[in-house]
Structure formats: C-alpha cells, structure tokens
Amino acid sequence: MAAKKQTRGKCAFCGKETAKGWMTRHLKSCEARAAAVEKADGKKGTEQNIYHLQIEDAYQKDFWLHLEMNGNATMEELDAYLRAIWLECCGHLSEFTFEAWSEDATVDMETRADKVFSVGAELLHLYDFGTTSETVVKVIDEREGQPMSEHPIFLMSRNGMPEVTCLECDRRAEWLCMECLIEDGEMGIFCREHIEEHPHDGYGDPVELVNSPRVGMCGYDGPAEPPY
C-alpha cells in the first residue's frame, strides 16, 4: 500500500508532528524529551543502558516506530510489543535474527537486550514463517540511566495512518477486499461507500485498514494498538 506522501508521526514528549525522515533528528534534540529523561534519571534505582530503536517494516516503509527499550528487558518483550502493535493474527512463531533465514544468526528470545544491542546494530524480526512479516530493528542511540516508565518499552513515536485513496473515487480508503488481493493481486482498497457496492465476497468480509503493515496478510484484522 503506497501512500501518496511520507507518513508523519507525533513526538510523544512535545506533540510535534514530523515526517518519518525527521523524527530521528527531532527526538535527539527535543527539549521535552530531554526534560523527561532528566526527570526519569532523578528517580532511585540502578542505572542501565536504554536503547533508542528505530523500527520499520522491511518493505512498507510507511510503517515505523521509535521505541526506547530497557537493557535489562528480554527480546521476548520486544517480540510481544511488536505482536501487539502490528503483527498478531493467529499466534504464529517468530524470531529475531541478524541474518534472515540463517540458523546461526538467530537470537534467543530469553536474551537481554543489552547483550544484543549496540549503537549501529541492525536485526530482523520475522513473524510467521508462512506469510512472513519482516520488521527491521535498528539501534540508533543509547543512554545510561533510568527508564521512562515502569514498562520495559516506551513508545516515543509511530507513523500516522498512511493516506490511501479509494480505487473508485478521491475519498480516503478504509477497507481492503481480500478477493481483489488474492485473486487479482491488486490492493483493492475502497472508501465506505464503494466497499458496499463492491461485488466481491469470495473471501469473507472486507478487512478494515488499520495502522499496521500486516493488513492483508494471513488473517490479520487489527487492532494495531500499543500494549501500553
């Protein structure tokens, strides 16, 4: 699903909206974020390495996340987060790997993030070894200090819904026809009105477009909400 323009996202700290390409830079210089980090670091507790992760779908670059992840959290916690916000359909297997489809490059889910991550590291997350979702995880920064919340992962920004247009008119598309996709290899995306008139019903009800790169894959139907 190609959007007309780069998706934009909001900074969780100051609310500023920027295009994907600018968010990395913004988060590094955001004063509200710096203040939040300072406040977190004022709390009691053991310091740890905390990683800034830039995450995107390997093919649909309109879908991206900026997360902060605690070094003492396990990769399983990142897996659970990605499943909740983007991927989960029928409980498929998943893995993190430094190289796709190479057995020695797999990272054990029990491994702590600080044993895997360093600035510049890049991993691939694979979900479902049939209709596979591939997600690229890049470590773009790290800080030593206290986490932002009581959770192992903190959502700093995500893309807004890609703006896609109905195949029949100029309105925003909200529904996807699976028959168009599977039988004709076409992204059959329609507005509310045109999906009702659309003749296909061979693959059940149309799928609602939600903010996830897994729409149209396997039985995925959202909700594409962060777990916390």
- Applying CB under 5 A, the residues found at the interface with Zn ion are 11, 13-14, 16, 30, 89-90, 166, 168-169, 171, 177, 179-180, 188, 191, 194, 200, 218-219
Sign of CA dihedral 89, 94, 100, 103: negative
User: Please, what is the minimum distance in Å from the beta carbon of residue 174 to Zn ion?
Assistant: 9
User: Please, what is the minimum distance in Å from the beta carbon of residue 206 to Zn ion?
Assistant: 8
CA–CA gap between residue 200 and residue 154 (Å, rounded)? 41
Among 168, 169, 166, CA closest to 209: 166
Sign of CA dihedral 212, 60, 140, 130: positive
User: Please, what is the minimum distance in Å from the beta carbon of residue 30 to Zn ion?
Assistant: 3
C-beta of 89 vs 139, nearer to Zn ion: 89
User: Please, what is the minimum distance in Å from the beta carbon of residue 199 to Zn ion?
Assistant: 7
C-beta of 71 vs 128, nearer to Zn ion: 128
C-beta of 62 vs 194, nearer to Zn ion: 194
C-beta of 83 vs 194, nearer to Zn ion: 194
User: Please, what is the minimum distance in Å from the beta carbon of residue 111 to Zn ion?
Assistant: 25
User: Please, what is the minimum distance in Å from the beta carbon of residue 48 to Zn ion?
Assistant: 23
For strand 175-177 and strand 207-208, is the pairing parallel, antiparallel, or unpaired? antiparallel
Which pair of tokens denotes residue 90?
């029928």
C-beta of 2 vs 90, nearer to Zn ion: 90
C-beta of 14 vs 210, nearer to Zn ion: 14
